Chain A
C-alpha cells in the first residue's frame, strides 16, 4: 500500500471534494465525539468517484494490524461493485474522514459492516449510481446490473455507462439511505474471500510508512524526562547540566512535564538522560506481595451490580453442595512492540499531529485542551504504529510531541524509549475474583455468585480528559474523578458488556436464574485502561476456570456440564465445534492414570460470548506440564469462532491465532512488577513476553460462517478464552488448580504441592 498525499491524489484523479471541515466543525460543536463518533449522514463525506472510475473512500476506523484496511476495501469493492484495486481508502484524518470515534473494542465490524456507516454509504452509492444510469439509459433501475464499475442493461450488455461517466469528480449530494439494499452474502465475490492483505507486501519489504517514519521539513527531535517515582513532582531543574551537549535546542517544562528538544534523536536521548532534575519522592506504592488483599480491603469502592436476582444468598445458604474459589489476575501491559511515536507541528494558532492514536477526533479535542488551541484548528492524521492492543502510549506521546513543538515553534518528533513506553501506558486491570456456586442433587448449578475487586485510574483521554494519561496528568490536567459508591444500586437492565456475568446466566446465554454479579472498583496506584479484552478476559478466566472446578466437584465432563447450562445455540455450537475438532474425550478431569512426576498432558476448554453480544468463541487447549520444574508448554489449540458473516477467512484466522498466542503470553508470562515507589517492568527482560523461538503450539481454527446475522467483532475473542483453557488443561494433566495468572513455574509448583 502506498500512501499518496491527499493533494497529489486529488490532482491525479481529478476529484473535487470541498467543504468537509466546515460541516464537521458545526457538527462537533453540537455533540462531543463518543465511542463511535458522530459519523455522517452525507454520502459525499464517505466516498467520491473520480472521472477515471477510481473510488476514494473515507473511513473513521483504521488499520491497527488487525487487517481492517483490507477488510474495509473488500466491503467497499463488494458493495459498490468495483474491482478491489480501484478502491483507495483514507483512514482516520480529522480533515477528511467522518468522525467514527475510536477504533477499539472489536467494534469496527459491528459499526462499519452492518446496515449503517461505511456499508450503508457503499450500498447508497451503488443504488444512486444505478438510478443515475437508469435516467441516462432511459430504462428502469431493475433492468440494470452493476459490475466492475460499469452499469449495463441486463438484456443488452452493450448498453452501458461507467461510474466515472455518471458522477466522476462530482458530488452525489444525497443522504445515506437506510433502506439501500446490501448485496446478499451468497452473491459476494470479494467480501468473504481470503484476499491477501493489501499492506503486507510493503511491510515485508521495508517500504511501509509507519508514524515512526514520518519526516517533516525542519523537524527537531524530542525526548521526555519522566518522574522517577509514581506521583513525584518537579522541585528544580538544572538546565546548565546539558548546556555543553551538542544539538540541544531547549528544555521544556510545564508543571511536571519535562522534556528536551534537540537537533538529532540521539542528541535528545543523551540530553534527557543527563538533564539534572530534582523530584519529590513520590507517593509510595502498596506492596506487590499481598496486593490482592490490599485490593479486597479497600474501604473506598465504587460498587456495581451487573445482575442481582436477590436470592443467591438464600440459595447458597440452603444448598446441599457449594463450590467456592478465588482467582487472581495481575496488571499487564499492552507492551506494544515499538515504543510509541508521534510528530507534531504546532504553530501559534494551529497544529498538525501525526499519530498512531486509535481516536483522531477525540485526540483533536483533548490535544486542544493541552495546547490551549481550538479543536477546529488542529489537524490529526492517523499513521499506523506498531499494534497497540488498546490504550498504549500513542495518545500520551502525541501530547509529548505537541507540547515540545509548541515550546520551540517547530515540528518535533518524539519516539519514547522502551522504559518510557512501559511506564507511560495505561495498564490492563488487576483483579481479584471470588466465585461461589450452589449445586442441587441432580448436579445442576442453581445459583452463582460473582464478586470482584479491580483498581482503576485514568483511561482513554477521550475528547476532554487528557489527564487520563500520563503526559496530560504531568501537564496539569486531572484524570477522571474516582467516585465511590456503596452499596451498589440495583441493576435496571442486563447487558454483559464486561462479561462480568458468567455465560451460564439465564438472562444471557445460559440457564441459571439465580445469579449475583457485584464488582468493586477501587483507586489504582497506576494508570489503567483498556487492554485487549479489558475486564472480559479477567472475568472469563474466573468463570471458565470455575466451571471446570464445579465439573470436578460433580465428577462431570467439563464440556457436558457447560452444554447442560447453556441456552444460546450459537455458543453451544462453538463449544461443540471446538470439542469435536479437538477429538474431545468425554470424561471428568483430571485425566486418570497420569503420573505425578515428570511430564503430564491434559486438555481444557473455555468459551465466551464476547461482550455479551460481540462474537462467540470456544477453545480447547492441550498442554504438557513438567511436574518437576513447573514449566507449562501449550502443545495444541483448537479455536471455534462465530462472528457472523466472515469478511475475510484468512484475516479472521490470523486474528484468532494472534489472540491465542497473545493469550498464552499473558497466561504464562506477563505481569507488571513494582517496588515501593516505581514500576520495575521497564524492558523485555523485566517484562517477559513470548518470543518467536519459544515452544509454540499447533493452532487449528474452525470458522462457523453465519451470513444471515449481524457482523460481530473477532479481534478479542480468542485472547479472552485462552488463560482459562490453559488453566483447565493444567488441572486435567496434573490435578493441580492454578488460580493466579501468570502460571509461572513457581505458581504451578505451588499448586502441584497442594494436591
Chain B
C-alpha cells in the first residue's frame, strides 16, 4: 500500500491504498462517498463518472495514482436536496429517473460536456450521452432535463 494525496470536492485527503486501485474504490470505500457508483467496472456505463479538471472521467478505470493532485469533483459537491445545482434541479423537476442508480453518470457526463460546450446542438448532446446507460428507460425525461440545463448555460 502507498499513500496518495487527493483533492476531492475542495478538500485534501490522504489515502493508503494499493497503487493501481481505481479511483472509484477510493471514493466509495475510503472516502465513503455515495455519488460515484459501481455499475460495470469497465468504463461502459458511466455510473462512476466524476469531473477531473473539468473533464468527465470514469473513475472505475482511472487509477488513483493518475489523479493524485488533480481537482476531483463528485456529484455531492454540486448541490443538496435542499439546494440542488441547476442540473440536479432539472432532473428533480422532470422526475427524470426511476431507480436513480445511473443518474450520477448521466448528470456528471452532461454537466461536464455542457459546461465546456455551452453552444452544443441537440445532436452533439446526444452524441455526448452515447455511452451513458440507463436501464429503467428514463431516457426521454433525462434528455429533457439535460436540454433544460443546456438552455440555462447557453451564452
Q: Which residues of A contact B (CB under 8 A)?
A: 64-67, 196-197, 199-210, 212-213, 215, 221, 246-247, 264-267, 335-339, 341, 384-387, 389, 415, 417-418, 650-651, 654-655, 657-662, 665, 683-685, 689-694, 696-699
Q: Which residues of B contact A665 (CB under 8 A)?
A: 137
| Residue in B81, B130, B134, B138 whose beta carbon sits within 8 Å of that of A202 in the complex | B81
* Nearest CB in chain A: distance from B54 CB, A: 19
Which chain B residues in 39-81 approach chain A with CB under 8 Å?
A: 39-42, 44-45, 47, 74-76, 78-81
B149 at the interface (CB under 8 A from A): no
Q: Which residues of A contact B128 (CB under 8 A)?
A: 693
Contact yes or no, A693 B130, CB < 8 A: yes
* Nearest CB in chain B: distance from A723 CB, A: 14
Contact yes or no, B92 A684, CB < 8 A: no
* Nearest CB in chain A: distance from B135 CB, A: 4
* Contact flag A210-B101 (CB < 8 Å), given A339-B38, A654-B138: yes
Q: Give the nearest-CB partner of B138 in chain A.
A: A658
Q: Give the nearest-CB partner of A387 in chain B.
A: B99
Contact yes or no, A204 B103, CB < 8 A: yes
Q: Which residues of A contact B99 (CB under 8 A)?
A: 64-65, 337, 384-387
* Nearest CB in chain A: distance from B32 CB, A: 6
Contact yes or no, A691 B18, CB < 8 A: no
Q: Give the nearest-CB partner of B34 in chain A.
A: A213
B140 at the interface (CB under 8 A from A): yes
| Residue in A335, A683, A696 whose beta carbon sits within 8 Å of that of B135 in the complex | A335
Residue from A202, A203, A655, A661 with most neighbouring chain B CB atoms (10 Å): A203
Bound CA–CA A657/B129 (angstroms): 19
Contact yes or no, A338 B47, CB < 8 A: yes
Which chain B residues in 78-129 approach chain A with CB under 8 Å?
A: 78-81, 84, 88, 91-92, 95, 97-104, 106-107, 126-129
Contact yes or no, B135 A387, CB < 8 A: yes
Q: Is the interface of B mostly helix, strand, loop or mixed?
A: loop
* Nearest CB in chain B: distance from A38 CB, A: 28
Contact yes or no, A65 B75, CB < 8 A: no
* Nearest CB in chain A: distance from B40 CB, A: 4
Q: How many residues of B contact A (CB 8 A)?
A: 62
Q: Which residues of B contact A205 (CB under 8 A)?
A: 35, 75-76, 78-81, 84, 88
- Those 4 A-B pairs whose CB atoms lie nearest each other, nearest first: A206-B35, A65-B99, A661-B137, A203-B100
Contact yes or no, B40 A418, CB < 8 A: yes
* Nearest CB in chain B: distance from A649 CB, A: 11
Bound CA–CA A490/B127 (angstroms): 56
Contact yes or no, B139 A690, CB < 8 A: yes
* Nearest CB in chain A: distance from B109 CB, A: 9
* Contact flag A684-B95 (CB < 8 Å), given A690-B139, A693-B128: no
Q: Which residues of A contact B36 (CB under 8 A)?
A: 206
Q: Give the nearest-CB partner of A245 in chain B.
A: B18
Q: Which residues of B contact A657 (CB under 8 A)?
A: 137-138, 140-141
Contact yes or no, A65 B81, CB < 8 A: no
B147 at the interface (CB under 8 A from A): no
Contact yes or no, B25 A683, CB < 8 A: no
B8 at the interface (CB under 8 A from A): no
Bound CA–CA A35/B127 (angstroms): 44
Contact yes or no, A204 B135, CB < 8 A: no
Bound CA–CA A200/B90 (angstroms): 12
Residue from A197, A650, A698 with most neighbouring chain B CB atoms (10 Å): A197
Q: Give the nearest-CB partner of A683 in chain B.
A: B42
| Residue in A197, A266, A418, A697 whose beta carbon sits within 8 Å of that of B42 in the complex | A418
* Contact flag A204-B98 (CB < 8 Å), given A339-B38, A657-B137, A662-B137: no
| Residue in A267, A385, A689 whose beta carbon sits within 8 Å of that of B18 in the complex | A267
Contact yes or no, B104 A206, CB < 8 A: yes
* Nearest CB in chain B: distance from A332 CB, A: 12
Contact yes or no, B98 A684, CB < 8 A: no
Bound CA–CA A266/B60 (angstroms): 11
Contact yes or no, B132 A215, CB < 8 A: no
Q: Which residues of B contact A690 (CB under 8 A)?
A: 137, 139
Q: Which residues of B contact A66 (CB under 8 A)?
A: 98
Q: Which residues of A contact B101 (CB under 8 A)?
A: 65, 210, 337-338, 385-387
Bound CA–CA A126/B140 (angstroms): 40
Q: Which residues of A contact B107 (CB under 8 A)?
A: 204
Residue from A197, A200, A384 with most neighbouring chain B CB atoms (10 Å): A200
B19-36 to A contact mask, C-beta < 8 Å, 1/0: 001100100110011111
Q: Which residues of A contact B103 (CB under 8 A)?
A: 203-204
Q: Give the nearest-CB partner of A697 in chain B.
A: B140
* Contact flag A337-B25 (CB < 8 Å), given A206-B34, A206-B74, A415-B38: no
| Residue in A65, A206, A684 whose beta carbon sits within 8 Å of that of B33 in the complex | A206
B136 at the interface (CB under 8 A from A): yes
Bound CA–CA A661/B98 (angstroms): 13
Q: Which residues of B contact A197 (CB under 8 A)?
A: 95
Bound CA–CA A146/B86 (angstroms): 39
Residue from B33, B40, B136 with most neighbouring chain A CB atoms (10 Å): B136
Q: Which residues of A contact B104 (CB under 8 A)?
A: 206
Q: Give the nearest-CB partner of B74 in chain A.
A: A206
Contact yes or no, B38 A693, CB < 8 A: no
Q: Can you list 29 A-B contacts with CB-CB less than 8 angstroms, sorted by A residue number?
A: A65-B98, A204-B97, A204-B100, A205-B75, A206-B34, A206-B74, A206-B104, A207-B81, A210-B34, A264-B29, A337-B102, A337-B136, A338-B47, A385-B99, A386-B39, A387-B101, A418-B42, A651-B95, A654-B98, A655-B98, A658-B137, A659-B137, A662-B135, A689-B135, A690-B139, A691-B133, A692-B134, A693-B130, A696-B140
Bound CA–CA A90/B98 (angstroms): 19
* Nearest CB in chain A: distance from B29 CB, A: 6
Bound CA–CA A690/B81 (angstroms): 29
* Contact flag A684-B139 (CB < 8 Å), given A205-B75, A205-B79, A337-B99: no
Residue from B25, B88, B101, B104 with most neighbouring chain A CB atoms (10 Å): B101
Q: Give the nearest-CB partner of B130 in chain A.
A: A693
Contact yes or no, B37 A658, CB < 8 A: no
* Nearest CB in chain B: distance from A333 CB, A: 10
Q: Which residues of B contact A693 (CB under 8 A)?
A: 126-132
| Residue in B41, B102, B126, B136 whose beta carbon sits within 8 Å of that of A658 in the complex | B136
